[in-house]
Structure 1
Amino acid sequence: MQLPLVLLLLSLPGCLSIQGPESVRGLEGGSVTVRCDYKPRWETYGKWWCRGAYWELCRTLVRTTGSQLEVKGDRVSIGDNQSHHFLTVTMEKVRQDDTDTYWCGISKSGPDLGAPIRVTIEPEGTLLTTACYPTNGRAGVSSVSYSR
């Protein structure tokens, strides 16, 4: 009996080593923060945030140095909480043309590890609603926000 391809892929080392939300929404002119959780053992590895629908072609916007120090790029910052195994990316002064697929990832020898996140930026004045989502077995809540 053969395992379905999905189960086989999920059983490979490194799969699901990093996870983020499927999608996030933000308001034009505001900021969007994304948290990606990773498994223990990846604490001291460099982390990155890139933009683009295709993994092989995405453009890295910011990356850590393997430490917990926050690194700032152009309207984007990344921090790594190594003791709790998550990285946080904040995109500031977002615009509607920032809507795209992004990836949070871990640099390592061989292929990097990554998780796709769809970021959607809504026009100013849009009401964003609260959503609950599971995060590694814990409940998380995104905030309600709106702009005038």
Structure 2
Amino acid sequence: MQLQPVLLLLSLPGCVSIQGPESVRGLEGGSVTVQCHYTPGWETYKKWWCRGAYWKSCDILVQTEGSEQEVKRDHVSIRDNQRQHLLTVTMKEVRQSDTDTYWCGISKPGPDLGAPIKVTIDPGGAASLQSRTTTSGRAGTSSGSYIRCV
């Protein structure tokens, strides 16, 4: 049996990753939820959600405190399910101007870990919002990840 290269890489000691959807879409006025998975060992580290094309210089919008407690800031919330290694970010009352590249990330000594997600907000009216207010990062998207071995 041959292992996929990514699975082999993740099984090596010292390799860590965080992975999210490549892109998500939402309707103006609604909400967008993104879920990012991370490898075991990073449960108590702070996780963050930032906006900007380059993760090293992006603007952190919200960040956990290393616990499972939900943190809200403006129209953005973040929650870390440490048992499932799952980071969930929800952006509410989104506007077309929210269309951008965002990052799920883990704060750690040295360079942080991050996974880019392209968020696109489409124009929408009240009628269309009733049928589709949330776009999850899990539906109909491919995954993108940033992997670093330390």
TM-score after normalising by structure 2:
0.76
Q: In the alignment, residue 113 of structure 2 is paired with which amino acid?
A: L
Deviation digits for residues 82-124 of structure 1 (CA, Å, limit 9, x no counterpart): 0000100000000000000000000000000000000000001
Q: Give 1:132 deviation, angstroms.
A: 3.4
Q: Is the 8 A contact 1:14 1:113 kept in 2?
A: no
Within 5 A, what are the aligned runs for 1:9-20? 13-14=14-15, 17-20=17-20
SS of 1:132's partner is coil
Aligned residue for 1:90? 90
Q: Is the 8 A contact 1:34 1:90 kept in 2?
A: yes
Aligned residue for 2:66? 66
Q: Which has a greater percent of helix?
A: 2
The 1:133–1:120 alpha-carbon spacing in structure 2 relative to 1, beyond 3 Å, is closer
Give the count of matched residue pairs. Answer: 127
Point out where structure 2 has 5 or more consecutive residues left out of the alignment: 1-5, 144-150
Query: In percent, how many aligned pairs have the same letter?
Result: 69
Aligned residue for 1:45? 45
Aligned residue for 1:56? 56
Over aligned residues, Cα RMSD in angstroms?
A: 2.6
Question: Does 1 or 2 have the higher relative contact order (CA < 8 Å, sep 6+)?
Answer: 2
Aligned residue for 2:104? 104
Q: Is the 8 A contact 2:49 2:103 kept in 1?
A: yes
Runs of 4+ in 1 over 3 A off after TM superposition: 10-15, 125-135
TM-score after normalising by structure 1:
0.77
Aligned residue for 1:117? 117
Q: Which has a greater percent of strand?
A: 2
Q: Give 1:14 deviation, angstroms.
A: 4.2
SS of 1:94's partner is coil
**Equivalent of residue 140 in structure 2, options 132, 143, 147:** 132
